[in-house]
Chain A
Amino acid sequence: MYSPAVERLITELAKLPGIGPRTAQRLTFHMLKLRPDEILPLAAAITEVKEKIGFCSRCFNLAEGELCTVCADMRRDPRLLCVVEQPFDIVTIERTREFRGLYHVLGGALSPLDGVEPDDLHIAELLSRVDGDVEEVILATNPTMTGEATAMYVADMLPRRVRVTRLASGLPVGGDLEYADELTLGRALVGRRSLRRGEE
Chain B
Amino acid sequence: MFVSSLRLVNFRSYCDATVSFGAGLNVVVGQNATGKTNLLEGAWFALRGSSPRTRREEKLITWGERFTRVELVLGGPAAGPQAVEVAYAPGQGKRARWNGVEVTSQDELRERTQVFIFVPESLLLVKGSPARRRAHLDAFAGALDARYAAAARELQTALRQRNAQLLAVRSGASPGTLDPWDVQFARAAVALGQRRRDLVAELSGRFAAAAAGLAPGVSTFVLRLNSQLAGVGYEEAALLEELRLRRPGETARGLSLFGPHRDDLRFLEVDAGEDAPGFAADEATDAGSPAFAAAALAGPACGPVDLPHGGRDLRLFGSQGEQRAAVLALLLAEQQLATARTGEQGTLFLDDVMSELDHARRRLLVRQLRCAGQAIITTTDLHYFVEEELDQATVIELPLAGSLRLGGASPSAYAAGPAPPREDAL
A residues with CB within 8 A of B: 110-113, 117-118, 145-146, 148-150, 152-153, 156
Contacts and interface: CB of A to CB of B under 8 A. Distances in A.
A156 B176 contact: yes
Tell me the dominant secondary structure on chain A's binding face.
Answer: helix
Contacts of B167: 112
Interface of B: 154, 157-158, 160-162, 164-165, 167-168, 173-174, 176-177, 179-181, 183-184, 188
Given A145-B158, A156-B179, 11 more contacts: A112-B161, A112-B167, A113-B161, A145-B154, A145-B188, A146-B161, A148-B184, A149-B161, A149-B184, A152-B179, A156-B176
Contacts of B173: 117
Contacts of A112: 161-162, 164-165, 167-168, 181
A146 B158 CA distance: 9
A145 B176 contact: no
A111 B161 contact: yes
Nearest to B150: A174
Contacts of A146: 161
A152 B180 contact: yes
B179 A145 contact: no
A153 B184 CA distance: 11
A110 B164 contact: no
A149 B176 contact: no
A149 B157 CA distance: 12
B164 A149 contact: no
B247 to A, nearest CB: 15
A145 B177 contact: no
Contact of A117 (B157, B160, B162, B168): B168
Contact of A110 (B157, B174, B180): B180
Contact of A149 (B154, B160, B168, B180): B180
A145 B183 contact: no
A152 B179 CA distance: 8
8 contacts: A111-B161, A113-B164, A117-B168, A117-B173, A118-B174, A145-B184, A156-B179, A156-B180
B55 to A, nearest CB: 25
A118 B177 contact: yes
A42 B251 CA distance: 49
- 6 smallest CB-CB distances across A and B, nearest first, come from A112-B164, A149-B180, A152-B180, A112-B165, A153-B180, A113-B164
Q: Among A111, A113, A148, A150, which residue has the most Cβ atoms of chain B within 10 A?
A: A113
Given A111-B161, A149-B161, A117 B183 contact: no
B157 A145 contact: yes
A44 to B, nearest CB: 40
A153 B180 CA distance: 6
A127 B179 CA distance: 18
Nearest to B168: A112
B259 to A, nearest CB: 15
Given A117-B168, A148-B184, A153 B161 contact: no
Contacts of B154: 145
A149 B164 CA distance: 14
A69 B180 CA distance: 33
A113 B154 CA distance: 14
Contacts of B162: 112
A111 to B, nearest CB: 7
Nearest to A150: B180
A145 B161 contact: yes
Contacts of A153: 177, 179-180
Contacts of B181: 112, 149
Nearest to A118: B177
Contacts of A111: 161
Contacts of B158: 145
Q: Among B161, B174, B179, which residue has the most Cβ atoms of chain A within 10 A?
A: B161
A113 B174 CA distance: 16
A146 B183 CA distance: 12
Contact of B160 (A110, A113, A156): A113
